[in-house]
Amino acid sequence: MPKSCHADIPRVNYSAAMDAWDDPRLTDVGLLLEAHAGLIAVLSRVHARHGLAGSDFDTLLRLARSPGRALRMTDLAAQLGLSTSGTTRIVDRLEGRGLARRKATAADRRSWTVVLTATGERTLRDDVPELLTAIQRAVIDPLPPERYAALVAGLRQLRDALRPDATIGS
Amino acid sequence: MPKSCHADIPRVNYSAAMDAWDDPRLTDVGLLLEAHAGLIAVLSRVHARHGLAGSDFDTLLRLARSPGRALRMTDLAAQLGLSTSGTTRIVDRLEGRGLARRKATAADRRSWTVVLTATGERTLRDDVPELLTAIQRAVIDPLPPERYAALVAGLRQLRDALRPDATIGS
DNA sequence: TAAGATTGACCAATCAATCTTC
DNA sequence: GAAGATTGATTGGTCAATCTTA
């Protein structure tokens, strides 16, 4: 169909505003949101093969990285960037599946310490290699090494500038 | 095969795994997740001043960018990257507040077309400038221009590689 | 009084099932 | 039968209130 068939359609008068809706700052932010959504889809697909949600995996990983494979509930919540009640629910799930367990915290009877179980560590050990493969294939391989490096450097500086940690308490 | 110089030193039996937990590919991905969380916090704070959730704003913006300030439900859902039922609920909210309205779709009586109302456009017009200011201050100003440009270029290529659109139907 | 953790009520999304129209 | 949209049940999180211990 030739374009002439639309040529006579009366123009709407809000075209000046349209520029604001397409401001590059808006579209740049959109890029990060879309990249994030795509990345989450890739990661979730891997985790799902091990019966894990993304937040379950994050929790297991935080525990695995901590001294003694353990963290107090409050510290875990801070690392996850979640509320303490949300963390309570995640740990409930993990404990129900035997991937983590609560034990009393020495010297503070108000607190619980969450410990990664052997089963939890095994689950993580099964998941991580698949995850690394997926990351390699989906995000690293498609980008020229130097561009990938620039992306990571930019993300690091952005993360530091945004200080998500500082906003958690707000 | 060169033998490790640590081969005879007794070690905790998970020390080999520790390296895997700190694999740079994992921490790089973590950077994007943290930057995203921080960005969402910044954006949400602005939207909240206008009584909008992030997904409300996204919806209004998609409508504003579309010809006739309108989209069919299915197309809107695709653009938002949400399920059609999730989109139904968002539009229910927006319609309840008078920011959008449903009208019958010409030539297909199964379908609804969502239209941005004047009120919705006004809300958007109030929100966007504040949003742009917040983005400028929180993400653009803190980064050297060339690093910001590299970040955006990397994000664009990553987004294209991940093709979030292609994964929505999966 | 405040800190750590949990619970109940709620909110925003998902999936599976359904209804209408193509 | 398939596509567009909605609904009911469920999931995964939040906030406000509560309980216990410091």
**Digit-coded pLDDT (tens) for A98-154:** 999 999 999 999 999 999 999 999 999 999 999 999 999 999 999 999 999 999 999
Distance CA B33, CA A31 (A): 14
Residues of B in contact with A154 (CB under 8 A): 143, 147-148, 150-151, 154
Q: Which nucleotide is nearest to A84 (CA to C1')?
A: C5
* Averaged confidence pLDDT in chain A: 89
Contact, A85 CB vs strand D, < 7 Å = yes
Q: What's the pLDDT at B163?
A: 81
Q: What's the pLDDT at B30?
A: 97
**Digit-coded pLDDT (tens) for B108-126:** 999 999 999 999 999 999 9
**Digit-coded pLDDT (tens) for B23-66:** 999 999 999 999 999 999 999 999 999 999 999 999 999 999 99
Distance CA B42, CA B134 (A): 7
What pTM was computed for the model? 0.88
**Digit-coded pLDDT (tens) for A73-98:** 999 999 999 999 999 999 999 999 99
Contact, B44 CB vs strand D, < 7 Å = no
Query: In which band, very low, low, confident or very high, does the pLDDT at A168 lie, cut at 50, 70 and 90?
Result: very low
